Structure 1
Amino acid sequence: MVKAVIFDIGNVLIEWQPERHYDRIMPRETREAMFAEVDLHGMNDEIDRGAPFRETIYAWAEKYPTWRDAIRRWHDDWIEMAAPEIPHSLRLMKALQAKGMPVFSLTNFGIGSYDYAATHYPFLREFDRDFISGHMGVTKPDPKIYQMVEEATGLSGADLIFTDDRADNIATAHTFGWKTHLFEGPEGWAARLVSEGLLSETEAT
């Protein structure tokens, strides 16, 4: 029986499409050239493992003078980049909690970037338990982060159902026996929660 529901955040509760943001502020060909030259997602991985938010991005910017100002915008435009929230997913989170079902986060997110995002998205402070990679020093899909969740909660296997938009993150959770759902949109996740008996059709709308 499911005893807690675990949500990823990026592309589950908040859209996370950095390339889309840069396409709004520079020609697409320019953006593609920058992403080809600079491993911006690798830079973000460092932050997700606990590196300081602003300092890491600004240091990377200095390494690539051609792209210096654009790289800095990864920090300066963070809220515009991590946007918008996905309203139906947020309703599902609140509906589960309204029924007394604990809802946890399990997210690859930096310490400073999460704190900043929470000023714009108050629901990020409303999980029953937070599992934020920056604080944990390890990111999905490393098995260690899933083990840390189990150790902290005392829950394991089919006690947990987890949704994430990345198949590799889901695959590792599956090896722990967690129930899993590859998030491809809130409608599918809603249907899964109904099929698990966690929400009614009405509650999942």
Structure 2
Amino acid sequence: MSIKAVVFDIGNVLIEWQPERFYDSVIGEARRREMFESVDLHAMNDKVDLGHHFTETIYAAAEDYPDWRAEIRMWHDRWIEMASPVIDHSVRLMGALQAKGTPVFSLTNFGIQSYDFAATHYPFMRQFDRDFISGHMAVIKPDAQIYQMLEDASGLSGADLIFTDDREDNIAAAKARGWNTHLFEGPQGWADRLVAEGLLHMDEAA
């Protein structure tokens, strides 16, 4: 069966997402390590990705840890600096697929307000043929339900889809449903896979 839609994760596939790198640049690696050991910032972000309010969730966490209040608030106030830069080659691949008439979906762990904010900086985020954003779905990868929801909404089964994500657990969950998958380790590898699948020619994938 031929592939009928291409599914992109966003963080570290279309936009770099490296909070630790950001904090290292602002407060230094030693202090960043201390903060991440003291505060489960990724669990805080999971709440946002599950649909909790972006500002309220982060500011509440900041009040829970007054010794780190200013630094935690940066997760909100300087968030766009963490969610950057764009991975330009990946964005070009998205456009090239759509130019050939291949639907491109997002499947991303992303908050409601943070997604809307990011889209004001990155216009491609409003250009997917279908959006599957965890904040609106109230479930995050790698929960099997989020993959089921995409299948149900699109009417496509695993064999109809090819999905790229930078996290092995997210890829494994999709593969378990019969999806075609690609572990994203850089845009060139993804470009090569799309060519190998016959979805793009080499010149289109550049």
State the Cα distance separating 1:185 from its structure 2 match.
0.2
3-state SS, counterpart of residue 12 of structure 2:
coil
Asked if 1:83 is matched to 2:84, the reply is yes
Q: Which residue matches 1:185?
A: 186
Share of identical aligned residues, percent? 71
Q: Which residue matches 1:149?
A: 150
3-state SS, counterpart of residue 131 of structure 1:
coil
Residues of 2 paired with 1:132 and 1:71: CA distance? Answer: 24
Under a length normalisation based on structure 2, what TM-score does the superposition of the two structures give? 0.99
Could you give the per-residue CA deviations for residues 58-100 of structure 1, whole angstroms, max 9, x where no partner exists?
A: 0000000100000000000011000000000000000000000
Asked if 1:104 is matched to 2:105, the reply is yes
Could you give the per-residue CA deviations for residues 34-63 of structure 1, whole angstroms, max 9, x where no partner exists?
A: 000000000000000000000000000000
Q: Which residue matches 2:46?
A: 45
Q: 1:80 is aligned with what amino acid?
A: E
Residues of 2 paired with 1:27 and 1:180: CA distance? Answer: 36
Under a length normalisation based on structure 1, what TM-score does the superposition of the two structures give? 0.99
3-state SS, counterpart of residue 180 of structure 1:
strand
Residues of 1 paired with 2:168 and 2:20: CA distance? Answer: 20
Q: Which residue matches 1:67?
A: 68
State the Cα distance separating 1:27 from its structure 2 match.
1.8
Q: Which residue matches 2:11?
A: 10
| TM-align CA RMSD | 0.4
- Which residues of structure 1 form unaligned runs of 5+? none
- Which residues of structure 2 form unaligned runs of 5+? none
Q: 2:90 is aligned with what amino acid?
A: S
Residues of 2 paired with 1:101 and 1:190: CA distance? Answer: 15
State the Cα distance separating 1:28 from its structure 2 match.
1.0
State the Cα distance separating 1:139 from its structure 2 match.
0.2
State the Cα distance separating 1:155 from its structure 2 match.
0.2
Q: Which residue matches 2:161?
A: 160
3-state SS, counterpart of residue 130 of structure 1:
coil
Asked if 1:93 is matched to 2:59, the reply is no
Q: Which residue matches 1:121?
A: 122
Q: 2:137 is aligned with what amino acid?
A: M
Residues of 1 paired with 2:158 and 2:111: CA distance? Answer: 27
Residues of 1 paired with 2:96 and 2:118: CA distance? Answer: 22
Q: Which residue matches 2:33?
A: 32
Q: Which residue matches 1:23?
A: 24
Residues of 2 paired with 1:195 and 1:155: CA distance? Answer: 21
Q: Which residue matches 2:134?
A: 133
3-state SS, counterpart of residue 107 of structure 1:
coil
Count of matched residue pairs: 205
3-state SS, counterpart of residue 35 of structure 1:
helix
